[in-house]
Structure formats: structure tokens, C-alpha cells
Amino acid sequence: MRVLSFILFTILLVSCEEEFTPDVISAPPEVVVEGYVEASDLSIPVFVILRNNFPFFSELGPAQLADAYIHDAEVLVRHNGQETQLAEACLSDLPDEIADAIVSNLIADIDTFELCLYIDLAFQIPRVEGGRYDLEVQVEDKRLSATTTIPEHVPLDSLQFVEPPGNPNDTLAQMRIFISDPAEVANFYQYNTQINLEQLQKPFASVTDDRLFDGQSFQFPLQKAERSIDATEIDPVTFGLFRVGDDVTIRWMNIDEAHFNFWNTLEFNIANQGPFSSYTRVQSNIEGGLGIWGGISASYYRLEVAK
């Protein structure tokens, strides 16, 4: 009898359910900025990408992403009293070495659509550590602005490959890096990894500050970045490890605090998705819009995986 009552209650409960379709939240469109100025041993020009944002309930695909790019804007960068206007171009119009360097900086994978941007192709803007760079963007009647700095660079002391934890393995290796963090200076670090000729990849958590190791010299393992953030596609046996014989590039960066806060909050949101996750607003340094205008000082370390 109790079982029958439970079944009847369940049927009534289901029959009373109504499909809920959330209202589309209308909000004025905003301009999204993604731009970088990097001081390194590579010739990466200053560039800025402008897009329109999307409503929360949107169908996204290559066509929608391509249509989101903003054309015919005025983009100015000021540094040390010099004002430079960036020229509009698309990735397919650029030399291969410049196009590859730009792709390595980007948040999103752009293999499926053409990328258009604003760029200092003539390398008029000096990219120097300690420099301040002011961005101003005019999109129709909207004016956006931002400021970033290129911090002093703290290079790695050395890198080496060691036997990974667990049972001995002839094909995999763990990378360990050695660094001396300057004392009493707030430093913010970020890194990417590249395997052979693939695109540079960002790990799940690519940034850290030095609050826990200020002024210390120490070593720690550096994980290989994975292409997928889908946990079902990750092999726990090989996660974060490098394959013996591969050529590896480590892009080791210093960024300023606002740039760190952007990546820190963005990566937290990516790692905490789902219906029961807490919402964290991604911090932007763009006045009048969304996104990031970030200064970077970087070193690139290239080595073969060997134990």
C-alpha cells in the first residue's frame, strides 16, 4: 500500500510539472577588447581585437564569431608621449611568423574562423619593461580606454626533466623549474607550453602571484598544458607530463596586477562551471567595455624532453 501511494504521488507530481523557459535577459551590447603588448626576444607587434559580446542565450558557431568582429574602429596606443594608430588587418593578410605569434597570445582557439584585428605592423611602438601603455578605442559613438604596464621580467634560473611520480616510466617525464623571486616586490607570473609545432596552450591555471614565496629561491613541477578542458578526455596517467623525445617551448611571463586579476577570475570561472557552481565576475581593466589590455614581459625556453 505504501508503494502504491508513493507511485501515485510521483505520477501526480510529474503531471503537475510545467516546462520552465527562462526569459531572455536583454542588455545593451558591449564591446569586448583583447589586446597585448609584449616585451620579449620575439618580434610580436602590439595588437588589439575588438568584438561585440553575445546575449547569454545565443547560438554560437564560426559564422556568429566571425560576424562579431568590429571593423572600421579607431584604435590608438600612447606610450612615452608617442601616439600610434593601429591598422586593421586580418590574420590571413599577415606574414606567417607574425600570425603564428599572435595566435599564441589568444584566449580562444581560432582554427575555425578568420581573425581580424588592429595591429602595429610597422613596429612603431617600443615594447620595453617598465613602460606604460594607454589604449583608446573609438567604435561609432562608444569610447573605450585602458592602461597597462610591462613589468620587470623575472626569468627562470633553469629547467630540467625528471622521473615522474609513481612507477618508472620510459616514455614520460616531469618538468621542474627553478626560480629566484625578488624580495619585497609583488610579482605576477603566467606560463604557456608548446609541444613540437602545435599552438601554444594555456594550462587550466596559468597564473600565480608570489604571496606564498616572496623573495625565495625554490623549485616546483610545471605541468604541460592540455588542449581540452573536458575532464572526460584527460588521461590521469599522462596529465601534466611531457613525452620523451618531444620538443617543448615554455613561454614564461610576468604580467601586472590587473592583467593577473583578469586571468585569475576567468580561469576560476572556467574551472567552476555547472548548475551548482558559484559565480565570479571576470575582472576587466577596460573602461567603457569588457576584456583585457595587458602588458607582458616574456622569455621563451626551448628544449627536448629527455631524462
Spell out the domains of the chain, with CATH numbers in brackets: 31-149 (2.60.40), 158-279+296-304 (2.60.40)
Confidence check: pLDDT of 19 > 70: no
Mean pLDDT of 124-136: 97
Give residues with Cβ within 8 angstroms of 217, minimum separation 6. Answer: 157, 178, 179, 180, 181
Q: In whole angstroms, how far apart are CA 15 and each of 11, 21, 124, 168? A: 6, 17, 69, 59
pLDDT of residue 5: 42
pLDDT of residue 7: 37
Confidence check: pLDDT of 20 > 50: no
Confidence check: pLDDT of 12 > 50: no
All three cell numbers of 78: 600612447
pLDDT in tens, 223-261: 999 865 555 567 778 889 999 999 999 999 999 999 999
Q: In whole angstroms, how far apart are CA 139 and each of 45, 142, 155, 178, 286? A: 22, 5, 38, 45, 14
Cα gap 94→242, rounded to integer Å: 32
Cα gap 75→136, rounded to integer Å: 6
Mean pLDDT of 91-99: 85
Confidence check: pLDDT of 197 > 90: no
Judge whether 101 and 127 are in contact, CB under 8 Å: no
Among 99-108, 133-142, 144-153, 239-248, the range scoring the smallest mean pLDDT is 99-108
Among 55-64, 75-84, 203-212, 253-262, the range scoring the smallest mean pLDDT is 55-64
Q: In whole angstroms, how far apart are CA 14 and each of 1, 179, 241? A: 20, 60, 49
**pTM metric for this prediction:** 0.84
Amino acid at 254: N
Among 30-34, 79-83, 90-94, 101-105, the range scoring the smallest mean pLDDT is 101-105
With residue 291 as reference, give the H or E element that holds it. Answer: strand 290-304
Single out the residue of 181, 248, 186 nearest to residue 218, CA to CA.
Answer: 181
Judge whether 144 and 33 are in contact, CB under 8 Å: yes
With residue 51 as reference, give the H or E element that holds it. Answer: strand 47-52
